[in-house]
Amino acid sequence: MSGFWIMLTGALVASCCGILGCFLILRRMALVGDAISHSVLPGIVIAFLISGSRDSFFMLFGAAIIGFVTVFLIQMFQNSGVQSDASIGVVFTSLFAVGVLLVSLNAKHVDLDLDCVLYGEIAYVQWNQISVAGMEIGPKAVWLLGITLFIIVAIIALFYKQFKLCAFDPALAAAIGIPVALFHYVLMGLVSMATVSSFESVGAILVVGLLIVPPATAYLLTDRLGMMIVLSLIIGVISSVAGYYTAAALDASIAGCMVCVAGVLFLFAFLFSPTHGLVTRKLRQRTTATREAY
């Protein structure tokens, strides 16, 4: 049963991150996802210090606030003439350093240490169960990620056309009256939620992999956003299941193996994608040259 909960948790993390990652890639904002996943750390620590609890609600709230601050600062620096990559790097490294400092100074004797924040441990999710009327109904991480996924799916489904248009042509979206800035911040808030919900299971570093690699793989396989999201979900689930069994065979990190499997799938897509694959293009060029020679 423990294997089921681990694979389910991994699939939920990959699903939450995969849906949002598609929009980040289309908007050329992959590094913003990396920035948010690291810079929300001070929000988590401050929420813990104020509330004295590791309750997920307080951590989500604190991380969401810092996530919005991160996006606001990056946008402000870009509007002031700072290069995009430089503004992202300055903001997320500075806020992440502040978070690490707060952890080391104020949370030395609680389970909010650097290993937990940076790496996570998905194998432990089964031990933190939720009890109702004395009956265990499943791990806390599964319920938290399930609720987060429901919120993400609901918001994306309700405003799919707006998010799609903002991703492909923000100028046109603004011209027809869509509040582009509002949907930008909503997307960043959802990224913050997905990141924090995944901290205890895979950690901040591996969240970045699941946020980018499955959507990037799907991007190589299709030119349609709807299909890209579906493929991203499928790739994420496959990575979670195959990663678990790979980790069991190698006696290695489960979360690490999940992202490594996702990386292998990306490599196959990069080489053999019907449209964008490197090997496929070479074969097509060779076939074309042969036909022209005859």
SS3 call for 131: strand
Q: Which band of pLDDT confidence, cut at 50, 70 and 90, is reported for residue 150? A: very high
The one-character DSSP state at 249 is H
Q: What is the pLDDT of residue 9?
A: 86
Cα(167)–Cα(162) distance, rounded to whole angstroms?
A: 9
What average pLDDT does this structure show over 70-99? 83
Q: Which band of pLDDT confidence, cut at 50, 70 and 90, is reported for residue 106? A: low
What is the residue type of 294?
Answer: Y
Name the residue with higher pLDDT: 285 or 171.
Answer: 171
Q: How far apart are the first and last CA of the chain?
A: 62
What average pLDDT does this structure show over 242-261? 86
What average pLDDT does this structure show over 74-98? 83
Q: What is the pLDDT of residue 56?
A: 59
- Indicate whether 95 pLDDT > 70: yes
Contact 113, 99 (CB under 8 A): no
Strands (E) located in the chain: 129-132, 135-139
Q: Cα–Cα distances in Å, from 181 out to 60, 191, 230? A: 22, 15, 26
Q: What is the pLDDT of residue 113?
A: 47
Q: What is the pLDDT of residue 206?
A: 73
CATH of domain 2-293: 1.10.3470.10
What average pLDDT does this structure show over 85-105? 82
What average pLDDT does this structure show over 105-124? 59
- Indicate whether 105 pLDDT > 70: yes
What is the residue type of 128?
Answer: N
Lowest mean pLDDT across 102-111, 126-135, 202-211:
102-111
Q: Which band of pLDDT confidence, cut at 50, 70 and 90, is reported for residue 158? A: very high
Lowest mean pLDDT across 9-18, 118-127, 173-182, 207-216:
118-127
Mean pLDDT taken over the chain:
81
% of the chain at pLDDT higher than 70: 86
- Indicate whether 259 pLDDT > 70: yes
Q: What is the pLDDT of residue 227?
A: 93
